[in-house]
Amino acid sequence: MLAIRPYHQRDAARAGMVIADTYAAFNLNQMAVEQRELMLGPFLHARSAEELHQRAIAAAIRAPTVLVAEEAGNIVGVLRGGRMDELRRTVLQSLFVSGSHHRRGIGRALVKEFEGEYVARGVTVFKLLATMHAVPFYLAHGYRKSTGVRNIRSFDGVGLPSQPMKKVIK
Ligand SMILES: CC(C)(COP(=O)(O)OP(=O)(O)OC[C@H]1O[C@@H](n2cnc3c(N)ncnc32)[C@H](O)[C@@H]1OP(=O)(O)O)[C@@H](O)C(=O)NCCC(=O)NCCS
């Protein structure tokens, strides 16, 4: 059974692997190896047992709200969000669902839980930078393109195409 629950520090290694694998396979797959490694940042070392690597991963996951999707004891999805931008809009910072679990409603369940938490606190505008892969997903969830595509930085890498999107709750 699928459960959406808050992330705990002890989830860091497993959540880091979901992020590393999904990001590399679906978002960075067209890039040269060198560029992909720069863009993965600390997640390049998701399978390293070194404490320094694991600490950097835990730090990169940190966000005001982090949710995980868990199924049969495995973490299969991670959502980070809740930072406010300069216009005081709430940011959905990142979302990853393991490739083997796509199109089973897990991304939808994570976004619904996240939005519900912030709408209950009075938030009416959400924004995000969607990967090109995720644009249809966010369009299906009420997000709209707010500008053209931009090339953004990801850790030490530059040039990741990204679509700014926002959703206004009515
Ligand atoms: C984007 C992502 C999080 C979606 O997660 P998911 O669990 O597969 O999505 P869901 O099953 O909840 O999809 C809900 C609806 O969104 C739409 N949707 C999802 N993925 C889609 C795709 N690849 N193409 C078109 N529509 C899509 C569909 O309407 C879908 O409903 P349906 O399956 O009944 O048709 C997942 O594909 C992912 O992790 N991608 C790689 C990482 C990424 O790009 N993250 C976004 C960073 S901003």
Geometric angle at alpha carbon 133, from 128 and 139, rounded to 5°: 55
CA-nearest of 126, 100, 132, 98 to 112 is 126
Question: What pLDDT is attached to residue 142?
Answer: 98
Give me the residue spans of the domains in the chain. Answer: 2-168
As a whole-number percent, the residues of the chain with pLDDT over 90 amount to 98
Quick one: which atom of ligand 1 is closest to the CA of 92? 48
Per residue in 50-94, pLDDT tens? Answer: 999 999 999 999 999 999 999 999 999 999 999 999 888 999 999
Residues with CB under 6 A from ligand 1: 22, 26-27, 94-97, 102-108, 128, 130-131, 133-134, 136-137, 140
31-56 mean pLDDT: 97
Question: What pLDDT is attached to residue 18?
Answer: 98
Q: Measure the CA dihedral 42/47/97/118, to 10°.
A: -50
Which of the four CATH numbers 3.40.630.30, 3.40.50.1820, 1.20.1250.20, 3.40.605.10 does domain 2-168 have? 3.40.630.30
Residue of the CA atom closest to atom 5 of ligand 1: 107
Contact status, residue 146 vs residue 168, Cβ threshold 8 Å: no
